[in-house]
Structures are given as C-alpha cells and as structure tokens.
Amino acid sequence: MNIDSKDILTDNFGRKHTYLRISLTEKCNLRCTYCMPADGIPLTAKKHLMTAEEIYKIATEFVRFGVTKIRLTGGEPMVRKDFPLILEQLASLPVEIGITTNGILADRHIPLLKENKINSITISIDSLQKHKFEKITRRNEFEKVWNTIQKFHKEGFKVKLNIVLIKNFNEDEIIDFINLTKDQDIIVRFIEFMPFDGNQWNMDKLVSLQEILDKVHYNFPLQLKRLTDLPNDTSKNYKIEGYKGSFSIISSVTNPFCDSCNRIRLTADGKLKNCLFSGNEFSILEPFRANKSISSIIQEALLHKFAARGGMDTSEKLKNPELHTKNRSMISIGG
C-alpha cells in the first residue's frame, strides 16, 4: 500500500476515519465525577505534552491523509493559555472545527471563534439544578455555565448541550432538558454513562436509550418525531413536534454506532487512540519529535481497531471492571 494513500485512515472493517478529536490538555476547572477520579490524576509533565506548533503540524498530517473534521477537547481545552493560537492555526486548515467545552471560559472567546468561522459550540451541563450541578462537578459554577449557554445562543451559534445521564441522579431531568428545545433552536444530547478508569461505573447506573425513549413517549404521546441521522452520526436524533430545537441520544453502551465509526483520538501527550473504549495507544509525539514519519504508526493504530467498543463487545465484558482500568480516565483521553 502506498503510505501516502488516504487508505491509511481505513481500518480492517472498511471504516474510513475522517474525524480527529484532539485533547489539548489534561487539566480542567471542573471535577466531574464520571470524568475525573475523586483523587484526581497525576498530570503529565509539560515537556511530554504537545506544543501548539506540534498540534498544528501533526493535525496537518492527518488532514493530508483525509481528515475533514477536527474537534478540540480537554480536560477543558480553553484553560490552555495558547488556545487562541491553536485555534487560529487549525482554522487555517481545510477542515471543519468543533469545540467541546464546560462553558466556564468560553464566552471570553466568542470574538475569536467568530473570527475563525466557528459557528457551533458544544457545552457540557449535566443538570439544570444548581445543587446537582455542584454535586457532579464538585464546583459552584452553575450560573456561569448557564449564562454562557444563553450568550452563545443569542450570538447566533449553533448550541449543543451534552448531558451524561446517571441513574438516580439526573434522569428525572430528561423532560426539563427537552423542554429547553421548545422555544430555542438548540440540540440537547443525552449520553449513556460509559466505563472509564476511576469513575465507579456499573450497569446499575446506566440510563439506557430505551429508558429515555420510554420517558419521552410517556410525556409527549404522539409528538415524538424521529429525524434522519447523518452519515457517521454517533447519535440517534429526535424532536418534539412543534419545538424549535431537537434532542439526540448517544447510546455507546446499549446501542453503539461502531459499525459506522469514523473517529480517532489524539491525547494531549501525543498518543493515538483508535477507540474511546480501548486501552491501546500508539505514540505519535515521540517519533514526530525524532523527525520520523508518523504515517505508518497511524496506519498501525487503525489496523488494530476492534469491530466494537475496544473489544468490549458483550455485556459480560462491559461489566468486567478489570477491562475498564486498562483504559485511561476520561479526563486524560478527551471527550
């Protein structure tokens, strides 16, 4: 195979990976329980993290091989002081740029985002109730995040809200979140709680796709409309008839989208992960700094990708905590 061929991003199952998610940092100004262990994580030394220039040059290689979309994640991507430089450099590439943020620092960057033609934003908010927000984030920032959401909407951005659902915690807010779409053209996205090292995951905490739909059907009989999903969509998309916005369900656990996955992840310390669930990592930064070609490593990473969920393709494997600890904590992978 020609190593410069765009087939480099195709795995053994014929899936073409055109979507690169780059974690800019392991640091975050929140401490969400499903993302970060209670005791935190040991942070990688700065010298082992990608610089702004390295992020740009490595991303350029991926674009050369066929990546058409890049999403910036963290930790919290905007805590990096050189976030404006990183964004400006990546926005110069012929790709769609997306950003996932917790919203605390995002409003200060609205002019920067507009200048670089970023017209959408994804903001994480797992509860509309202040006390619950504080409990899950371990921080008192609800008003700041909520006000940021409203600012972005008023400024004309396409706003998506990410909500990780956890049984006996926030599943009673599903309808409250959907009602946000009644008068605002926003997208509410419910995400099934996923297993990572240190987040105390088990199936009893899972709010499944079917449970969500059952609740919606009960509250909106005959009003639920199934929308057409885009190619490679991670979500199943819906709206309530007559509402301006819509909602989605990302069912990575109970109804995964692995057969059409087109995503790969680059961690802040320059490791390539071919699946969010996988513990396998392939170092990109080390050979890059040694002036070696990274194309064969990218190819190797894709050829080692499992058919589904990093090899956890049965409920028994998902329930095995030993498999969860082979992966990183979410905070150090990137959302």
Give me the domains of the chain, ranges plus CATH numbers. 6-333 (3.20.20.70)
- Residues pairing with 70 in the sheet: 20, 97
Nearest to 28, CA basis, from 268, 206, 189: 268
Q: In what order do the strands lie in the sheet with 19-23?
A: 224-226, 236-240, 246-250, 187-192, 158-165, 120-124, 96-101, 69-73, 19-23, 263-266, 271-273, 282-283
- Please give the Cα distance from 203 to 206 (Å, whole number): 5
3-class state of residue 120 by DSSP: strand
Q: For position 38, what pLDDT does the model report?
A: 73
pLDDT tens readout for residues 150-170: 999 999 999 999 999 999 999
Number of other CB atoms surrounding residue 295 within 10 Å? 16
- The residue ranking higher by pLDDT, 205 or 291, is 291
- The residue ranking higher by pLDDT, 192 or 241, is 241
- Please give the Cα distance from 92 to 90 (Å, whole number): 5
Q: For position 194, what pLDDT does the model report?
A: 77
Residue 116, C-beta contacts closer than 8 angstroms, at least 6 positions apart: 87, 88, 91, 97
214-241: average pLDDT: 95
Tokens of 95: 């790709």
The H-or-E segment that residue 91 falls in is helix 83-91
| Per-state percent for the chain, helix, strand, coil, to nearest 5 | 35, 20, 45
Give the pLDDT band of residue 33 (cuts 50, 70, 90): confident
Out of 150-164, 166-180, 311-325, pick the least confident.
311-325
pLDDT at 177 over 50: yes
63, 57 contact by CB (below 8 A)? no
236, 251 contact by CB (below 8 A)? yes
User: Which phi-psi region, left, alpha or beta, contains residue 75 (left: φ > 0; alpha: ψ -120 to 50)?
Assistant: left
Using CA atoms in the order 31, 42, 106, 181, what is the torsion angle rounded to 10 degrees?
Answer: -40
pLDDT at 211 over 60: yes
- The residue ranking higher by pLDDT, 219 or 40, is 219
Tokens of 94: 């012929």
pLDDT at 2 over 50: no
